[in-house]
Amino acid sequence: MSSRERPAAVLFDMDGTLVDTEDLWWDACVEVADGLGSPLGEADREALFGLSVEDAALHITAALDTTGGPGAPAVETMLTDAFTRRLENGVTTLPGAVALLEALRAAGIPAGLVSASPRPVVDLVLETVGGHRFRLSVAAGDSARNKPAPDPYLAAAARLGVDPAACVAVEDSPTGVASARSAGCAVIVVGSSGAVSGVTAVPTLESVDLPLLRRLVSRAPM
């Protein structure tokens, strides 16, 4: 592929996209909420899917009688600690993740990691996936606003020196899709949240290859 026929970069979400951490995240949320005396239900699981730690903390504290109780910043710290403890036991890369990253590297296409998770969480996961496979990583706090705002994807594109419209973002949640689309990226959504209007849906990363990435960016104005 010539430089005009391929993405300027491919920007990956992390949790649930590259690594199987969604159940670990839910377990961390349940632990914190139970400890605060406000158990979560299945409706909360759906609401918490794809949220940043900051927004998850707000969700949990909204259900609390906060008189004398912890505020959202304290709950955010509790969530980060609970999630990190679980990640320290190791995480599983999702099917097709490593092969796709290696294909991008062989083709000379930069890969970036754009996560709503805090930096300690991102760095732990990079130890499993391989930090050398990414040109950069953006974590919570590395941009002015987190997902679903466009800031994380705009920050990644700016640091790479590329136009967001020439990038493909790979996401798994409506929150992440909203962030990437508002930044101007072409978007692939992976997995069970695939029914998102206006984006390309695939069952797993095994279905993502260089021709698909080329087709997505070739649709954008040059």
pLDDT at site 46: 85
* Average pLDDT for 134-159: 97
User: What pLDDT, in 10s, does the model give residues 88-119?
Assistant: 988 999 999 999 999 999 999 999 999 999 99
Residue 82 φ then ψ, to 5°:
-65, -40
**Which helix (H) or strand (E) segment is 2 a member of?**
none
Contact between residue 79 and residue 29 where contact means Cβ atoms under 8 Å apart? yes
Q: State residue 194's pLDDT score.
A: 46
- Give ∠ CA 220-139-4 in degrees, rounded to 5: 20
* pLDDT recorded at residue 50: 81
pLDDT of residue 191: 87
Report which of residues 123 and 62 the model is more confident about: 123
Q: How confident is the model at residue 66 (pLDDT cuts 50, 70, 90)?
A: low
Whether 15 is catalytic is yes
Identify which of 101, 157, 152 has the alpha carbon closest to the alpha carbon of residue 126: 101
Residues 6+ apart with CB under 8 A from 3: none
Amino acid at 222: M
Q: Could you read off the pLDDT of 155-193 as tens digits, one per residue?
A: 999 999 999 999 999 999 999 999 999 999 999 999 865
Distance set, CA 191 to CA 53, 80, 116, 136 (Å):
22, 25, 18, 24
Q: For residue range 4-48, list pLDDT tens digits in order.
A: 578 999 999 999 999 999 899 999 999 999 999 889 998 899 889
Residue 137: predicted pLDDT: 98
- Token pair for 112: 């970036």
Nearby residues of 62 by Cβ (< 8 Å), 6 or more positions away: none
pLDDT at position 5 is 76
Contact 61, 72 (CB under 8 A): yes
Residue 62's pLDDT is: 86
Q: Residue 94 carries which DSSP code?
A: P
Q: Measured in whole angstroms, how far is the alpha carbon of residue 171 from the centre of its chain?
A: 6
Q: Is the peptide bond before 203 cis (omega within 30 degrees of 0)?
A: no
Closest by alpha carbon to 152, among 185, 180, 111, 120? Answer: 180
Written as six digits, the tokens of 208 are: 């993502």
pLDDT at position 70: 84
Predicted local distance difference test score (pLDDT) of residue 222: 40
Options 15, 44, 142, 172, the catalytic residue? 15
Helices (H) and strands (E) in the chain — how many of each? 9, 6
Q: Is 13 a catalytic residue?
A: yes
Mean pLDDT score, 197-216: 93
CA atoms of 208 and 58, how far apart (whole Å): 35
* Average pLDDT over every residue of 112-134: 95
Does pTM surpass 0.85? yes
64: which 2 tokens? 């609390």
pLDDT at 205: 98
Catalytic residue of the set 13, 44, 151, 172: 13
Go through the chain and tell me how many residues it has. 222
Instruction: Report the range of poorest mean pLDDT among 24-33, 54-63, 163-172, 195-204.
Output: 195-204
pLDDT of residue 65 exceeding 80, the answer is: no
* Single-letter amino acid, residue 89: N
pLDDT of amino acid 77: 95
